[in-house]
Amino acid sequence: MTFENSKYSKLLEFRKLEFHFGNVYITKQFILSELNEGIHVDYAMVSKLIGKFSEEISNDIKIGYIANRINSYSFEPQLWLDFNNDYDFLVASAVVTYSDFGYLNSSLEKHFFKKSLKRCQNLDEAIEWMMEFDELQTEIKSK
């Protein structure tokens, strides 16, 4: 299920950023990505994403990240280590997988991410888990 087709798109304020490689939704508690089929996520792509909203994020703001993997794409697990070293605004991450293979990939990624990373079977589970974090009450400014 996509974020826009979920009940949460009607309950939460969000801003949608569209890229050639997928969509990103920014709420006050988390950033959610839905990337396109067949892409390869590398450091350059992650940097482009972060650069798009870097003015809104500082080390004082803590948010979560949800990867809603409705499509199959490749991801370099090493990115979690690089990301941990370069940025410190994430409290936790959730990866929504829709296949056994996706679940196995997210299990590998869990070893690289220094903070809490939950593997979820549906979008509701990921959002509900993310909303439980007290640290995620700081709002990202809307443009």
pLDDT tens-digit readout, 88-137: 778 888 999 998 877 777 777 766 677 888 999 999 999 999 998 877 65
pTM for this entry: 0.84
Band of the pLDDT at 10, cuts 50, 70, 90? very high
In 3D space, the residue among 77, 122, 92 whose CA is nearest the CA of residue 31 turns out to be 92
CATH number at residue 124: 3.30.750
Q: Which amino acid is at 27?
A: T
58 touches 89 (CB < 8 A): yes
Residue 3 lies in a domain: no
Q: 111 is in which domain, residue-wise?
A: 8-137
Residue 132 lies in a domain: yes
In 3D space, the residue among 36, 1, 6, 31 whose CA is nearest the CA of residue 16 turns out to be 31
